[in-house]
Structure 1
Amino acid sequence: MLVKWIEKQMVHHSRFDDSPFIPQSAFPWSRGLEGNWRDVRAELDALLEHREALPNFQDISTDQRRITDDDQWKTYFFYGYGFRFDANCARCPRTAELLARVPGLKTAFFSILGPHKHVPPHRGPYKGVVRYHLALKIPSPENACGIRVGGQEAHWSEGTGMFFDDTYVHEAWNGTDEDRAVLFMDVVRPMAFPYSLVNNMVIQGIARSRFVQEAKGNQDAWERRFAQLLDRK
């Protein structure tokens, strides 16, 4: 399969070693996000006043039903595979401003795990993007919330970020009585030419796929309902 062959090339032609967690030095722009994390947290807090109205992950991306089927993984999308959701960005202008500065940004959303939510082991669909979590709301004790990637465990700390390769089997959990929230992002994996060009072509193809187009339609429909809800208040 072509995608599998391309992923094998990425092991040899990425700008960093193939490992579950990726050094932050590979993405220097992340320092700017972390330096302004409190601005992002403030906009998250305002949205959490409407927590119950936020969409469950599987309501946007039906493919996620294999790993979550309850109302304890809430989302708020800014970008999805390169598509920008303008109304959501307008409600969080500072976050949108910071995201606009991120090179190669493809997906970005607030990812909110409810109390005692566990996301079971699973694998991401494509190695051509790298996952980033900026920790925004991490209940105490911090070690009660965590993520395991390729057998390596890590814990979030408010105001700091972590990069990882989501094509390693990974799982996440919130073992507290409060919400855990991160700014969840996928960015294009830096690669040497011509593999970078091939990678961009694959990503563009995924963006045109049925499951991404369906998710975009679901998100657009939710945005309209949410706007109506806010107008009534």
Structure 2
Amino acid sequence: MSSISEDSHIGVVAWLKQKRRRYVKQTGKRFIRGLADFLAQQSLVGDKPVMDSRDFPFLEKFTQNWETIRDEIAEVLKHREAVPTFQEVSPDQKRIAKGNNWRTFILFGFGEKLPKNCAKTPVTTRLLEQVPNLQTAWFSILAPGYHIPAHRGVSKGILRAHLGLIVPKDAERCRLRVADQICVWREGEIFVFDDTYEHEVWNDTEDERVILLFDFDRPMRFWGRLVNSSFVKLLKLTAYYQEPKKNMQSFEDRFEAATRRADANLEKLSDEAQS
């Protein structure tokens, strides 16, 4: 009898938590829509779906070093199965990330560095550390034939850059729509967009697509910077941030352990071959 009562209590608690989370999410969305108008007015680089990359001089170093960045992620992808899927890191993204179709190797999350992952991509990390007010950075690995449904980002105070690294041969069929604009990835090329505009992705090819994705603060006037900074601090107190943060650390440890096992196995095979 007590067991049934206990189960009922756990069920009620879980239901209340889910209801509270849904309420917070809906309230947050309404607040974010109002905040977006203010931040757009504070922008020093306009308010367009796709930005002019020339407004961000620090991006040039990424295009100059793209081959080194590509080589670093190619080494990571030798352990592809240990790289987590997007929805494993951030359960809030399960609507747009299904199965093993979208993997993410995270270097920075909400301004915090993942040292073990970063150690595996030292050149990429050094370049990212030079980005003014970097928020997040990760390698986005998209499977052939996958479609990421239309969705929107959280804050207009943050802009997103995409650097093409491994792009399908038929590049035109692997594309990103931002509002009414189509962007096509090219190896070694970078573009910046505002992810609060509705956007979606198609990889209508038989090849994998790999890019470096990173977010940084939009250049704004004083009050815009102040409001956006306060908003991001509040965001870090929510489950939207806390859950992925915990998961990122867990997957970082798992990837480290997986690569160590693989290296140990290779060393063992090498020793056996020589004996």
State the identity %: 39
Q: Report what 2:232 is aligned to.
A: 203
251, 257, 274: which one pairs with 1:222?
A: 251
User: Post-superposition shift, 1:89?
Assistant: 0.3
56, 60, 83: which one pairs with 1:54?
A: 83
Q: For the residues of structure 2 that align with 1:51 and 1:70, how far apart are their CA atoms?
A: 14
201, 214, 218: which one pairs with 1:189?
A: 218
Q: Report what 2:146 is aligned to.
A: 117
User: Post-superposition shift, 1:230?
Assistant: 1.7
Residue pairs, 1:85-164, within 5 angstroms: 85-164=114-193
User: Post-superposition shift, 1:6?
Assistant: 2.5
Say whether residues 1:42 and 2:97 are aligned partners: no
Q: Report what 2:100 is aligned to.
A: 71
Q: Secondary structure at the match of 2:144?
A: coil
Once the two structures are superposed, residues 184-208 of structure 1 have per-residue CA deviations (whole angstroms, 9 ceiling, x without a partner) of 1111111011221111111122123
Once the two structures are superposed, residues 94-131 of structure 1 have per-residue CA deviations (whole angstroms, 9 ceiling, x without a partner) of 11111111111100000010111110111112211001
CA contact (8 A) 1:82 1:207 kept: no
User: Post-superposition shift, 1:67?
Assistant: 0.9
Q: For the residues of structure 1 that align with 2:74 and 2:223, how far apart are their CA atoms?
A: 43
Q: Report what 2:3 is aligned to.
A: none
CA contact (8 A) 2:79 2:259 kept: no
Kindly tell me the number of residue pairs found equivalent between the two proteins.
233
CA contact (8 A) 1:145 1:156 kept: yes
TM-score, normalisation: structure 2: 0.82
Say whether residues 1:169 and 2:198 are aligned partners: yes
Name structure 1 gaps, 5 residues minimum: none
Query: Which sits farther off after the overlay, 23-32 or 105-114?
Result: 23-32
CA contact (8 A) 1:139 1:180 kept: yes
Q: For the residues of structure 1 that align with 2:180 and 2:53, how far apart are their CA atoms?
A: 19
Say whether residues 1:84 and 2:98 are aligned partners: no
User: Post-superposition shift, 1:16?
Assistant: 1.8
Q: Secondary structure at the match of 2:216?
A: strand
Once the two structures are superposed, residues 170-225 of structure 1 have per-residue CA deviations (whole angstroms, 9 ceiling, x without a partner) of 00111111110110111111101122111111112212322211101111111112
Tell me which protein shows more strand as a share of its residues: 1
CA contact (8 A) 2:42 2:223 kept: no
TM-score, normalisation: structure 1: 0.96
User: Post-superposition shift, 1:147?
Assistant: 0.4
21, 25, 39: which one pairs with 2:50?
A: 21
Query: Which sits farther off after the overlay, 87-96 or 10-19?
Result: 10-19
Q: Secondary structure at the match of 1:66?
A: coil
Name structure 2 gaps, 5 residues minimum: 1-29, 263-275
Tell me which protein shows more helix as a share of its residues: 2
Q: Which structure: larger Rg? A: 2
